[in-house]
Amino acid sequence: MATRFELRNTLCITLLVHVPLVEIHGTWSVHAMEDEQGLMMGNARAYPVYRNEGGDVGSVISVAELLVGCGELWVDATVDLYAELSRADDVRYAATLFPRDLFPLALFSGGGSYLRATELPQDGDKLASLLPMTVMVEAPVTDDLLSRAPELLSRATWGQLAWMALTWPAIPELDLRSEQARTGVQACFNVDANHAPAASHTVYAHVHPYDDERPHHLARQIGHNIVGPSEHGW
C-alpha cells in the first residue's frame, strides 16, 4: 500500500485521523475547509501554548512532548516531521539523520521530485537544482525521530512536528467530554500553525472549535498559559 507521501499529486489524502492533507506552496499542511485562497482549511482551533523567540528548538520540542502527555495517543500513533532545507550540505546531512533503513517513510521533496535518501543526486549541481527541499518523515512515537529532529530543525528554513492521533481527556469540572476529532499537538519552527512565516517557534494545542476552555486547561497542566489568539487548526 502506498504511503500518503507516495501519493504525489493528490491534493487531499486521508490521514489516520481522516483529515485531508493538501499541498500549499510545495509543502504539506493539514486542512479541511476553504480559506481565502480557495485552499482547504480546518475547522479546529490551534491555540499557542508556548512561544520561543530565541531559536531554542530543544525547549519547544520538550514543551510539545509535555503537551502530548496531557492526552492519550492512539494505538500505533505516529509523529510527523517536516523541514525545508535551502542548502545542499544540509540535505546531505538530513539523509544521514534519517536513513532509509531506519526511517522507511522518509522522503525528500524538491523540484517536483520525491526521493528517498538513497536516491538523492550525488552531483552537487543536480542536488542544488532541487533546492529548497522539504524533508518529510513519519515514524512511530516510540522511535527516535524526536532525538534526531533538533539537528535537522536547527538547520531548516522552517519546520514542523505534528502529533495528530491523539485524544484529549474529559474535563468534568469544565463539562467537557473527551475529544478525538480535531485534536493534536503541533510544534512550528519559523512559521505559524498555517505555515505563514514567523520569527519564532511555537507549540500549539489543536482543539474542537467550541472547546475554548480546554486549551487553557491543557496549558496550565504543563505550567504554561495561552500566549496569543487562536489560529486555524486542522
Q: Is the dihedral of CA 141, 15, 170, 216 positive or negative?
A: positive
Residue with cell 533546492: 131
Number of domains present in the structure of the chain = 1
* Chain segment 44-72, per-residue pLDDT in tens: 999 999 999 999 999 999 999 999 999 99
Q: Is residue 190 part of a domain?
A: yes
pLDDT at position 181 is 87
Q: Is residue 97 part of a domain?
A: yes
pLDDT at position 10 is 27
Q: Is residue 150 part of a domain?
A: yes
Q: Is residue 25 part of a domain?
A: no
Judged against a pLDDT cut of 70, whether residue 20 lies above it is answered with: no
Element (H, E) at 67: helix 57-68
For residue 131, how many C-alpha atoms fall within 13 Å in the half-sphere facing its CB? 16
Helices 88-97 & 145-153 angle (0-180, nearest 10): 170
Average pLDDT, the chain: 85
Q: What's the residue count for the chain?
A: 234
In angstroms, rounded to a whole number, what is the distance separating the alpha carbons of residues 121 and 115? 9
Q: 46 in helix, strand or coil?
A: strand
* Chain segment 105-159, per-residue pLDDT in tens: 999 999 999 999 999 999 999 999 999 999 999 999 989 999 999 999 999 999 9
Q: Is residue 50 part of a domain?
A: yes
Containing structural domain, residue 62: 42-232
Q: Is residue 33 part of a domain?
A: no
Q: Is residue 185 part of a domain?
A: yes
* Chain segment 195-213, per-residue pLDDT in tens: 999 999 999 999 999 899 9
Q: How confident is the model at residue 32 (pLDDT cuts 50, 70, 90)?
A: very low
Q: Is residue 9 part of a domain?
A: no
Residue with cell 489516520: 16
